A and B are shown apart, each in its own frame.
Chain A
Amino acid sequence: MLRYILNRFGQSLVLMLMVTMITFFLINLAPGGPSSVVRMEASQEERQAIIDRLGLDQPVIVRYGEWLVNAVQGDLGTSFNTSEPVIQRIMSRLPYTIELTVFTILVSVSIGIIFGVISAIKRGKAQDHVINFTSVIGLSIPSFWLGLMFILLFSVELRWLPSSGVGPRGADFELMTYLRHLIMPVVILSMTVLPNIVRFTRSSMLEVISQNYIRTVRAKGAKEAVVLYIHALRNALIPVITIIGVLIPRLLSGAVITEAIFGWTGIGSLIIEAANSRDYPLVMGITVIITFVVIVSNLLVDLIYSQIDPRVKNVA
């Protein structure tokens, strides 16, 4: 097991290095430049002064080397946009994205499993078709569009929910206000992963139900509820756990759009700011952090998986 973890750790380091290298060269070679330089009304002299200050007169390869040396020592540099340390900017935003992601996983997993099970049990019946149909619709509707429609309906027309923001924090924090701010972003973000969980649960459940041991359980006279929820579901859920690991990167990218629409001040809106304004150090910092989160979550899922399913002992 230790050997496996070390192996995975080594792979992750190589992966990390490649991701940062590709990102650094892509963002630096992309057309445009930092907003402070690429301003329409700035004069040539103003631009040159800022290029010199930011050290952008150096070749890209030299700058990558400098960045890497600092990053390895834990220094992700200073944001071009605000002159604040990159790590400070990311850490001030990360908790909001984690909140959104955790609530989304809770909502979509619990609803997704219920719908998945219903769909499997009522296979071929009306409920199954409706759930499948709704899943396809949910998967096909662009979340930015649906988000705007939600705002129009629930904020503008009905005035039930706040259209944007994370709600007051600190001393002014109120649970109800907080939940009201959460509802729309969580629902919209759930839409991007819910159909996957439903379909995954459904197929996994169908597979388990047709197993011989379920027939044996039924044969010994167990109630149908016990058969389904104690014997079938527990085994059917094992593969569902893996998909949560796979969904985390998707949630993070889905958060970019959702956060922009609902003014949710997480990493997603920071990514947009960093990319639009070509804040190279910030782009790099976010890339490192997100790559890290994705690698760690995948690793954790693999480890948990091998723990709960004894058959998958020797994954390495």
Chain B
Amino acid sequence: MTKRWLFLISLISFLFIITACAYGDEGGQADNTNDNGTEEVDETGDGPSQGGRVSIPIVADPTFNPWHPNAYAESNVINRVLFNGLTKFGKDGLPAPALAASWETTEDGLVWTFNLRDDVNWHDGEQFTAEDVAYTFNEITLNSELGANSSSYFNNVENVEIVDEFTVNFNLSSPVAALPAYLSFNTEIIPEHIFAGEDPWDLTSFNKENPIGTGPFKLKSYTSGQSVVLERNEDYFDGVAYLDEIEYKVLADANTHVAQLLSGELDIFALDDTSAIERIESADDITIVGRETPRFFWLILNQNIEQFQDVRLRQAIMHAIDRQNIIDTILQGYGSIADAGIAPILSEYYTDDVTRYDFDQDRARELLAEIGYEENANGFVEMDGEPLTISFDVGIQGDLETIAQMVQQYLIQVGIDVQLNTMDWNSMIDQVVIERDYEMSLNWWRYPADPDLTAYMHSDNADTGNNIPNYRNEDLDALLEAGGQASTVEERQEIYLEAQALMAEELPYLFLWYPQEVQVRQQSLQGIPELAFGDALYYTNEWYIEQ
């Protein structure tokens, strides 16, 4: 009898010890400089051979239709493999050929001609033609009653015209230099021969059960709440895949992702929870790499509120926050300080030659004093007896809450009384993004691989569009319009250098950092291009398992 109790007690204490080890802070931060960009090339092996299965986590049931309003991130990672767009995210960061072999635009930029491949079959054997492209855009994307995903990228597209069986023209109302980039970003082509005459959102036999794509893998089985299994498409037009299968496991809990990676049940994903990095780094057979993505984190002050319109207030806040410290501690070093919105991955356009805001709380206090704020007895600043109190609304997702707490502390240090309200993601979007009923918020943008940030900063998109800070500046509007329409890279470079200088000076968003994606994968998984996980999915036909 007593032995049994001894065993139980020792089991419980063992559990406590395991916890302490697993979550213990061993100090020091990740040094990921060696991991950056160095791809392990298998030089000794015999090269790739067919076979194997790769498991990827998704957080919810997918919808097998990239345009469907219910297709979120978990659907994108599957639809990218099942379907093809006209273009895809190139290994050099520029749009690369996919279903379209080549494209060109007219001198006035109003017509884009895409020459389609004539050797592509749908998974059911039907041939892919211009009809499918015309159907996808004319009947789905441009049909305003459907409210299709990503349709706002194509506001300037009037229609898609079939020139011949394998050529289409995109007719525009005004030039869109970013069109090939938009066509690579969750805008895959769906089959006309299945959708014609159907309600595209209610066709559950396709969207939830039996999708037909053109991609390197096709659906083998799908069990709601459990898994999606794709099998190799032996008829793929761009090099038949090595892997036999790709399995997407529905696992809602991020801790489970880490546990299953460590136990070998998952093979590759982008890690959201950076607090798990140390634990993963200590595992032998797992590779962990930082990858650049077109994303930036931001803090915003609602520009519809007069008090926040003074640029010196935004500059003071930039000086008050030690961004490098947040990057080092919370992001474990996976990120670099942002000064404008165009991320370093867009290397042809990115510049760091702009106004920079060092961590300098004295400078922040000076700027506040210049505006007319004086420190009161409580250590907070006030103007005409009114203390500067800002309510700070943040949605709970990933590290946002922890980051917000640090930001709050930095701002309190310079005398700004920040009240932090955290709320669930859905409520935050309703309040901040839709109602614009907020004073300060924190979040991030992920955008297509193009420097055109019109959607996020142009005054036309204030109040209702993605210009969430409601920022209005005619000079920036003019630059964004010029950059969006200019046809050559050289012209655009010049415009966006100027735009970045203006962004950094005026701070439509208070730019925080460009985060790196933390990509984790089993070492045996090879052939992954040096891209963010989401973009590497365009190349699943090149992935292989090392024998």
A residues adjacent to B (C-beta < 8 A): 30-33, 35-50, 52-53, 80-84, 89, 92-93, 126-127, 130, 134, 137, 146, 148-149, 151-153, 155-157, 159, 162-166, 169, 260-263, 265, 269-270, 272-273, 276-278
20 A-B Cβ contacts within 8 A? A31-B423, A32-B427, A35-B72, A46-B147, A46-B148, A48-B147, A80-B70, A81-B61, A82-B63, A130-B5, A149-B19, A162-B265, A164-B251, A164-B256, A164-B265, A260-B252, A261-B255, A263-B249, A265-B250, A273-B252
Q: Specify which chain B residues have a CB less than 8 angstroms from the CB of A81 in the assembled complex.
A: 61, 70
Q: Specify which chain A residues have a CB less than 8 angstroms from the CB of B147 in the assembled complex.
A: 42, 45-50, 53
Closest residue on chain A to residue B255 by CB atoms = A148
1/0 contact trace for B235-273 toward A, CB 8 Å?
000000000000001111101100110110100000000
Stretch binding the partner chain, chosen from B132-140, B176-184, B200-208: B200-208
Q: How many angstroms from the CA of A42 to the CA of B431 in the assembled complex?
A: 14
Q: Specify which chain B residues have a CB less than 8 angstroms from the CB of A278 in the assembled complex.
A: 426
Q: How many angstroms from the CA of A132 to the CA of B14 in the assembled complex?
A: 20
Q: Specify which chain B residues have a CB less than 8 angstroms from the CB of A31 in the assembled complex.
A: 423, 426-427, 430-431
Q: Specify which chain A residues have a CB less than 8 angstroms from the CB of B426 in the assembled complex.
A: 31-33, 35, 38, 276-278
Closest residue on chain A to residue B8 by CB atoms = A134
- Report the minimum CB–CB distance from A137 to chain B (whole Å): 7
Question: Is B69 in contact with A36, judged by CB distance below 8 angstroms?
Answer: yes
Q: How many angstroms from the CA of A46 to the CA of B466 in the assembled complex?
A: 12
Q: Specify which chain B residues have a CB less than 8 angstroms from the CB of A80 in the assembled complex.
A: 70
Closest residue on chain A to residue B423 by CB atoms = A31
Closest residue on chain B to residue A155 by CB atoms = B263
B residues adjacent to A (C-beta < 8 A): 1-2, 5, 8, 12, 14-15, 18-19, 22, 60-61, 63, 69-70, 72, 144-149, 151-152, 201-202, 204, 207-208, 223-227, 249-253, 255-256, 259-260, 262-263, 265, 423-427, 429-431, 433-434, 443, 464-466
What DSSP secondary structure best describes chain B's contact surface? Answer: mixed
Among B2, B18, B144, B425, the residue within 8 A (CB) of A153 is: B18
Q: Knowing A263-B252, A265-B226 touch, does A163 contact B433 (C-beta < 8 A)?
A: no
Question: Is A45 in contact with B69, judged by CB distance below 8 angstroms?
Answer: no
Question: Is B433 in contact with A152, judged by CB distance below 8 angstroms?
Answer: no
Question: Is A83 in contact with B201, judged by CB distance below 8 angstroms?
Answer: yes
Residue among A35, A83, A164, A261 with max Cβ neighbours from chain B (10 Å): A164
Question: Is A163 in contact with B260, judged by CB distance below 8 angstroms?
Answer: yes
Q: How many angstroms from the CA of A294 to the CA of B427 in the assembled complex?
A: 30
- Report the minimum CB–CB distance from A272 to chain B (whole Å): 7
Question: Is B249 in contact with A38, judged by CB distance below 8 angstroms?
Answer: no
- Report the minimum CB–CB distance from B250 to chain A (whole Å): 7
Q: Specify which chain A residues have a CB less than 8 angstroms from the CB of B70 in the assembled complex.
A: 35-36, 80-83
Question: Is A45 in contact with B226, judged by CB distance below 8 angstroms?
Answer: no
Q: How many angstroms from the CA of A270 to the CA of B208 in the assembled complex?
A: 16
Q: Knowing A32-B426, A46-B148 touch, does A155 contact B204 (C-beta < 8 A)?
A: no
Closest residue on chain B to residue A169 by CB atoms = B223
Q: Specify which chain B residues have a CB less than 8 angstroms from the CB of A265 in the assembled complex.
A: 223-226, 250
Q: Specify which chain A residues have a CB less than 8 angstroms from the CB of B252 in the assembled complex.
A: 260, 263, 269, 272-273
Number of inter-chain CB pairs below 8 Å: 164
- Report the minimum CB–CB distance from B393 to chain A (whole Å): 11
- Report the minimum CB–CB distance from B377 to chain A (whole Å): 37
Closest residue on chain B to residue A145 by CB atoms = B19
Closest residue on chain A to residue B14 by CB atoms = A153
Q: Specify which chain B residues have a CB less than 8 angstroms from the CB of A35 in the assembled complex.
A: 70, 72, 426
Question: Is B423 in contact with A261, judged by CB distance below 8 angstroms?
Answer: no
Question: Is A149 in contact with B18, judged by CB distance below 8 angstroms?
Answer: yes
Question: Is A137 in contact with B12, judged by CB distance below 8 angstroms?
Answer: yes
Among A46, A152, A169, the residue within 8 A (CB) of B151 is: A46
- Report the minimum CB–CB distance from B187 to chain A (whole Å): 13
Q: Knowing A48-B147, A49-B146, A81-B70 touch, does A164 contact B63 (C-beta < 8 A)?
A: no
**Known contacts A35-B72, A46-B147, A149-B19; can you find 8 more A-B pairs with CB under 8 A?**
A45-B144, A46-B152, A84-B208, A92-B225, A149-B18, A163-B263, A169-B223, A260-B252
Question: Is A261 in contact with B256, judged by CB distance below 8 angstroms?
Answer: yes
- Report the minimum CB–CB distance from A32 to chain B (whole Å): 3
Question: Is A39 in contact with B225, judged by CB distance below 8 angstroms?
Answer: no
Question: Is A83 in contact with B208, judged by CB distance below 8 angstroms?
Answer: yes
Among A40, A82, A151, A272, the residue within 8 A (CB) of B259 is: A151
Closest residue on chain A to residue B251 by CB atoms = A263
- Report the minimum CB–CB distance from B534 to chain A (whole Å): 15
Q: How many angstroms from the CA of A293 to the CA of B255 in the assembled complex?
A: 31
